[in-house]
Chains A and B, each alone.
Chain A
Amino acid sequence: MHQDWIQAIIGGAIIGISVSLMLLLNGRVTGISGIINGVLSHVKGDTAWRILFIAGLFLGGLVLRFLKPDAFSGALPAENWTVVGAGLLVGFGTILGSGCTSGHGVCGISRMSLRSLTATVVFILAGIVSVAIFRKLGVFP
Chain B
Amino acid sequence: MKNAFVALGVGFIFSLGLGISGMTQPQKVVGFLDVFGSWDPSLMFVMIGAIAVHFITYKLIRKRKSPLFSKQWHVPTKKEITPALIVGSFIFGIGWGLGGFCPGPAVTSLASFEMRPFIFVLSMLVGMIIFRQLDKKIKIEK
| Complex interface residues of chain A between 107 and 132 (CB less than 8 A to chain B) | 107-111, 113-115, 118-120, 122-132
Residue of A nearest to B47 (CB): A105
B91 contacts A57, C-beta separation under 8 Å: no
Residue of A33, A54, A93, A96 with highest tally of chain B CB at under 10 A: A96
Residues of B within 8 A of A138 (CB): none
Question: How far, in Å, is B1 (CB) from chain A's closest CB?
Answer: 8
Question: How far, in Å, is A41 (CB) from chain B's closest CB?
Answer: 8
- The A/B interface has a contact count, at CB < 8 Å, of 486
Residues 8-49 of B, flagged 1 when their CB comes within 8 A of A and 0 if not, give 111111111111111111111010011111001011111111
Residue of B nearest to A126 (CB): B93
A21 contacts B13, C-beta separation under 8 Å: yes
Question: How far, in Å, is A33 (CB) from chain B's closest CB?
Answer: 5
Residues of B within 8 A of A36 (CB): 103, 107, 124-125, 128
Give the size range of A's interface with the partner. Answer: 35 or more
Give the size range of B's interface with the partner. Answer: 35 or more
Interface of B is mostly: helix
| Complex interface residues of chain B between 22 and 79 (CB less than 8 A to chain A) | 22-28, 30, 33-37, 40, 42-55, 57-58, 61-62, 64, 66-70, 72-76, 78-79
Complex: how many Å from CA A113 to CA B79? 8
B94 contacts A127, C-beta separation under 8 Å: yes
A68 contacts B20, C-beta separation under 8 Å: yes
A74 contacts B91, C-beta separation under 8 Å: no
Interface of A is mostly: helix
Complex: how many Å from CA A93 to CA B44? 22
Complex: how many Å from CA A18 to CA B50? 9
Complex A-B, nearest 10 residue pairs according to Cβ-Cβ distance, in ascending order? A56-B11, A91-B127, A11-B21, A12-B49, A97-B88, A126-B93, A87-B123, A86-B99, A61-B111, A16-B53
What would 7 A/B residue contacts be, using CB atoms closer than 8 Å?
A: A23-B61, A33-B103, A85-B95, A89-B92, A95-B132, A98-B78, A132-B35
Residues of A at under 8 Å CB distance from B? 2, 4-5, 7-30, 32-33, 36-37, 40, 48-50, 52-65, 67-68, 70-76, 80, 82-98, 100-102, 104-111, 113-115, 118-120, 122-132, 134-135, 139-140
